[in-house]
Amino acid sequence: MRPSILRRLLRRVASTAALALVAATLSTVGAAPPAAAAGGLQQVTGFGTNPGNLQMYEYAPAGLPANAPLVIALHGCTQTANDYYTNSGWPKYADLWGFAVVFPQTTSANNPLSCFGWFDPAEDSRGKGEAASIVQMVEHAKQSHGSDARRVYVTGLSAGGGMTADLLAAYPDVFAGGSVASGLPAQCATSQAAASGCQTGPQKLTPAQWGDKVRGSYPGHSGPWPRVAIWQGTSDYTVYPANATALRDQWTDVWGIGQTPSSTDTLPGNTTRSIYNDASGKPAVETYSVSGMGHGLAVSPGSGTDQCGTTAAYFLNSICSTYYTGVFWGLDQGTPGGGQLPAPSGLQVTAVTANSVSLSWNAVPDAASYAVHRNGTKVSSPTATTYTDTGLTAGTAYRYTVAAIDGSGTPGTTSPQVTATTTGSTPGQCFTATNYAHVTAGRAHTTGGYVYANGSNENMGLYNVFVTHTLKESPAGYFVIADSGCAT
């Protein structure tokens, strides 16, 4: 066992009594992590240095396009990634709306009750412990799936909700939005002894004092800030409703808006939604108060678009919180407050040569220009509905998407992806690049987190940007490792 892990375990075991106050009623003690991935849930290894000693699981729909959103979903105490995958409803909307979901998992090796360390500065601070491990998972998923770095979101239940708030505070440059379900305000507690007090009644701080806890988590950051949804049952006696009020005060202050809602409406499941708009009139913070609900994540089993999840311990039948959270974030192809331009239709490859790809698409009304992305990276902003990408490598596959941009410079919804392969190849040609770049360029493929050269199937090591190899192509489409030299 690594010394850092041993120290962490000893520190937690020494405070097991205090932890029981924090989490004894959060879930049923004794739930075990899944022995293997269930259904479409897949474990990912080698995602980084993993200073927080977490496990990474993910669900990615088949045919996921580049520049799709990415959601991080954190379980509650004594729960597992598989529990959250099975009961929360996130896989349904990943399929329906097109995005990947990462389910981090902690275990009793970190914490006797498998709670994320939302109360421990060694775990929930920027660059440290579990928080750093989760951000490494984000970076790995972005590389693996070509996810849109501007649309990464995090959500969590109970202890996972507390860690969600801490992540939003520590990494506002990583997460565009968050959703805290039956959770705690960011940095409510900085010790295990203080954690139970936060659950039953957080400190009576002013909105500015709560906001300072966010601003102090990443000093110097002045925005943009994540858009935050807050879910709370009025009959929650594990994490009291006062925490939802503190969260509302905290994030409205960070946004520089008042604590009086811009509007209030009634939703299914005896739910009251209060919306707090930013200066442009778009929702920045939303609170969802579920009348009579206890401690857990709100779900609503059924086949309707706004229904999701499975009832289980701490997955409570009232309203599909996942659906409303996804709509708030804009995962349903909109944006908070509306107004986003639709995706360009009809994107197609019109011509290819050995070093170029030509594209065309249908015009979008009110578009001032278009953003063309190659393999997830923006390469041009034409005003016309055609574009020719030049300077490419022969015999290589490239992935393209296009988004319309309005007059204010705001990009709209990204189009479905098309793939084009340039013609020809040069026998004996050599390519030196990271494993990630080789896969992206079509010279290699991944299986089980490892990269294999196309044709020869030689193992190139882990799928990341930290391993570099030289590949020789001969004949066309057949690649071998040539790190020791690549004579043509």
**Residue at 476 is within a domain:** yes
Residues 413, 310 within the same domain: no
Which residue is associated with the tokens 């290589």? 396
Residues 377, 459 within the same domain: no
User: How is residue 394 written in tokens?
Assistant: 């022969």
What's the confidence (pLDDT) of residue 305?
Answer: 87
Q: What is d(CA 192, CA 13) in angstroms, rounded to the nearest whole number?
A: 12
What confidence tens digit (pLDDT) does each residue in 252-266 have? Answer: 999 999 999 999 988
Residue 200 has pLDDT above 50, yes or no: yes
Q: 93-107, 289-303, 416-430, 472-486: which range is least confident on average?
A: 416-430
Query: Does an H or E element contain 404, and which?
Result: strand 397-405
The number of folded domains in the chain is: 3
CATH of the domain at 192: 3.40.50.1820
Contacts of 151 (CB under 8 A, 6+ apart): 68, 69, 70, 99, 176, 329, 330
What's the confidence (pLDDT) of residue 411?
Answer: 75
Contacts of 215 (CB under 8 A, 6+ apart): 221, 254
Which residue is associated with the tokens 């396009």? 65
Contacts of 219 (CB under 8 A, 6+ apart): none
Mean pLDDT of 154-166: 98
What's the confidence (pLDDT) of residue 29?
Answer: 33
Residue 395: band (very low, low, confident or very high) from pLDDT cuts 50, 70, 90: confident
Instruction: Give yes or no for a contact between 158 and 295, defined as CB atoms under 8 angstroms apart.
Output: yes
Of residues 59 and 107, the one with the higher pLDDT is 59
Residues 357, 444 within the same domain: no
Helices 16-23 & 192-200 angle (0-180, nearest 10)? 20
Count CA atoms closer than 13 A to 273's CA, side-chain side. Answer: 18
What's the confidence (pLDDT) of residue 430?
Answer: 86
**Residue at 338 is within a domain:** no
CA angle 215, 219, 223 (to 5 degrees): 60
Structural domain including 311 reads: 3-329
Domain edge (last residue) among 421, 453, 472: 421
Residues 70, 208 within the same domain: yes
Q: List the catalytic residue out of 88, 158, 179, 289.
A: 158
Residue 165's SS3 state is helix
Residue 8 has pLDDT above 70, yes or no: no
Of residues 319 and 2, the one with the higher pLDDT is 319
**Residue burial 431-457, b: 16+ Cβ < 10 Å; e: rest:** bebbbbbbbbbbbbeeeebbbbbbbee
Q: What is d(CA 145, CA 417) in angstroms, rounded to the nearest whole number?
A: 12
**Residue at 312 is within a domain:** yes
Residue 34 has pLDDT above 80, yes or no: no
User: How is residue 137 written in tokens?
Assistant: 């998972």
**Residue at 101 is within a domain:** yes
Q: What is d(CA 275, CA 267) in angstroms, rounded to the nearest whole number?
A: 13
Residues 269, 136 within the same domain: yes
- Cross-strand partners of 273: 265, 288
**How much is the mean pLDDT over the chain?**
86
What is the percent of the chain where pLDDT is above 90? 60
Residues 199, 298 within the same domain: yes
What's the confidence (pLDDT) of residue 465?
Answer: 61
**Residue at 181 is within a domain:** yes
**Residue at 94 is within a domain:** yes
Residue 26: band (very low, low, confident or very high) from pLDDT cuts 50, 70, 90: very low
Q: What is d(CA 272, CA 264) in angstroms, rounded to the nearest whole number?
A: 7
CB atoms inside a 10 Å sphere around CB 380:
15
Domain edge (last residue) among 282, 302, 329: 329
Instruction: Give yes or no for a contact between 214 and 180, defined as CB atoms under 8 angstroms apart.
Output: no
Residues 79, 156 within the same domain: yes
Please report, to the nearest 10 degrees, the dihedral formed by the alpha carbons of residues 102, 108, 112, 116 taken in order.
-20
What confidence tens digit (pLDDT) does each residue in 337-350 have? Answer: 344 678 888 999 99
What is the C-alpha end-to-end distance of the chain, expressed in Å?
47
Instruction: Give yes or no for a contact between 379 and 391, defined as CB atoms under 8 angstroms apart.
Output: no
Does 158 qualify as catalytic in the annotation?
yes
CATH of the domain at 389: 2.60.40.10
Q: What is the DSSP string of 337-359?
A: TS-PPPPPS--EEEEE-SSEEEE
